[in-house]
Chain A
């Protein structure tokens, strides 16, 4: 492997090359510390009863465990980032498969997981042509595998669930990993993850303070139009101002392009959230799993990233490009 790729994949000394990376990391750690302090102060002052206190502690503790797992790999290097994204893909797919019952189709499930593995290789290899080829080829394999049992009843559902599972949790989330093929991926990936998660929190806070009219009462009864608009404004402003530093000197660094990026993050983020609510309502379950205490399953927490990752990727890819100056096909060779 060439020296440039080695540095990108494993060069943790470059973690804070960008001031934005350092800023976001410090801000996130600070927010966690403040959250713990606030919970403790509220408890000490007798403002929270035992039940609410336990619930708050559980939630923030989960965040305190999740944050290093999210930010750590990004800081360490592209190899860790890609591996972490692959793990996230597989675990999210597992939750989806168990919730829908698709996991009982073991052959098809194996095809989906194997496709995620090949996709991850394409990402790590920095081989865009393969990255683009895997989704249709996976579709071919799923359509074929589902025939083998010679049981046409339920064929469309089997193929459909396999395709949805792979596209949403393999391909869509995989775009987050592909971003790591850029030399300067750290601030971009962190910007995306942090603002998408903040987008959720903004919607929650704005909804509590100025939300009246329900947004989608059948899909997610607690969401309000006020919350959605509040998040749209706040997230767009935050993304645009942070993006100015991240994308300095590129075609993205203009007011219109940056506002566009902010809108994409906020809109795709909120619809990702609503998408998972729709999935859960359709199945008739409350949470996708029990992996994260206080939050539910992994998908209950990272639903907003699923649609935002490919939307942001292709927006940035169109205007700026990812990893254009980086060697391609670093493991497979060729060009």
Chain B
């Protein structure tokens, strides 16, 4: 008889405080329920205040893992992409959020983890190993990452260059990148505003890109970042 296969929660031995900050965090029933409730609330808000339109839903791979990548202009971006994911993926969707913005205060990190299931990435000291951890987890756990490779919100409304860290997470794996373009989010809530204003937002989901043949080195990472950046630009209306 073949022995049973146990895979304990990756964060089993972490205290609640460490769990919040950890890239190994896994949610159960409670976490999934709170993310689901939050997903409903954001969908209601986005439909009512921003008449959110989503094009290209059919381009989403039917199975995780994959990485959603979009231009970044607003704090609404991650909310929109997370709310656009199918219900059955709740708990498997992880927005990769800036640690220095969302994980330095108790209240914001609690919100980011309890309702958004966000994982922190530390921009100043973003070590190679945390990207490698993200890469290992993406493949091993069939996750969906939401990632903004510009590294920060655009201040001008113009999309900036993609950083190569994205490549470091997916180059050489069979995990597809799904390029998306967000139109209107920057106008609704640019970095210099604290409250959003009503206004139409459109999300375009492009066809998945495969980087199985990309090499897992600096050259390959840059190639992944450049190709993804072009794919996102092509989705932009102007």
Residue A98 lies at the interface, judged by CB distance under 8 Å to chain B: yes
Segment from A103-111, A180-188, A191-199, A316-324 that makes contact with B: A103-111
In angstroms, Cα B6 to Cα A287, docked, is 15
Asked if B4 and A157 make an inter-chain contact with CB atoms under 8 angstroms apart, the answer reads yes
In angstroms, Cα B5 to Cα A160, docked, is 12
> Which of A101, A110, A290 meets B6, CB within 8 Å?
A101
B11 to chain A, nearest CB (A): 9
Residue A150 lies at the interface, judged by CB distance under 8 Å to chain B: no
Closest chain A residue to B32, Cβ basis: A106
Asked if B12 and A289 make an inter-chain contact with CB atoms under 8 angstroms apart, the answer reads yes
> Which of B8, B28, B32, B91 meets A94, CB within 8 Å?
B28
Asked if A290 and B15 make an inter-chain contact with CB atoms under 8 angstroms apart, the answer reads yes
Asked if A103 and B4 make an inter-chain contact with CB atoms under 8 angstroms apart, the answer reads no
In angstroms, Cα B13 to Cα A287, docked, is 8
Residue B14 lies at the interface, judged by CB distance under 8 Å to chain A: yes
Residue A15 lies at the interface, judged by CB distance under 8 Å to chain B: no
In angstroms, Cα B14 to Cα A99, docked, is 12
Q: A98-B12, A290-B15 are in contact. Are A103 and B29 (CB under 8 A)?
A: yes
> Which of B8, B14, B32 meets A285, CB within 8 Å?
B8
A160 to chain B, nearest CB (A): 8
Write out the residue numbers on chain B whose beta carbons fall within 8 Å of the beta carbon of A285.
8, 12-13
B196 to chain A, nearest CB (A): 32
Residue B62 lies at the interface, judged by CB distance under 8 Å to chain A: no
| Per-residue B-contact encoding for A94-131, CB less than 8 Å = 1, 0 else | 10011111011010011001000000000000000000
> Which of B9, B15, B32 meets A99, CB within 8 Å?
B9
Q: A106-B29, A109-B29 are in contact. Are A99 and B12 (CB under 8 A)?
A: yes
A295 to chain B, nearest CB (A): 14
Closest chain B residue to A160, Cβ basis: B4
In angstroms, Cα B9 to Cα A283, docked, is 11
Asked if B29 and A98 make an inter-chain contact with CB atoms under 8 angstroms apart, the answer reads no
Closest chain A residue to B28, Cβ basis: A103
Residue A2 lies at the interface, judged by CB distance under 8 Å to chain B: no
| Per-residue A-contact encoding for B14-55, CB less than 8 Å = 1, 0 else | 110000000000101100100000000000000000000000
**Residue ranges of A at the interface with B (Cβ–Cβ < 8 Å):** 94, 97-101, 103-104, 106, 109-110, 113, 154, 157, 160, 282-285, 287, 289-290
Q: A157-B5, A290-B14 are in contact. List 18 more A-B contacts (CB 8 A).
A: A97-B28, A98-B8, A98-B9, A98-B28, A101-B7, A101-B8, A101-B9, A104-B26, A106-B28, A106-B32, A106-B91, A109-B28, A109-B29, A160-B4, A282-B6, A283-B8, A284-B6, A290-B15
A-B contact pairs, 23 of them (CB 8 A): A94-B28, A97-B28, A98-B8, A98-B26, A98-B28, A99-B12, A100-B8, A101-B6, A101-B9, A103-B9, A103-B26, A104-B7, A104-B26, A106-B29, A106-B91, A110-B29, A154-B5, A283-B6, A283-B8, A284-B6, A285-B8, A287-B13, A290-B14
Q: Which 7 A-B pairs have the closest CB atoms?
A: A101-B7, A98-B9, A103-B28, A283-B6, A157-B4, A99-B8, A100-B6
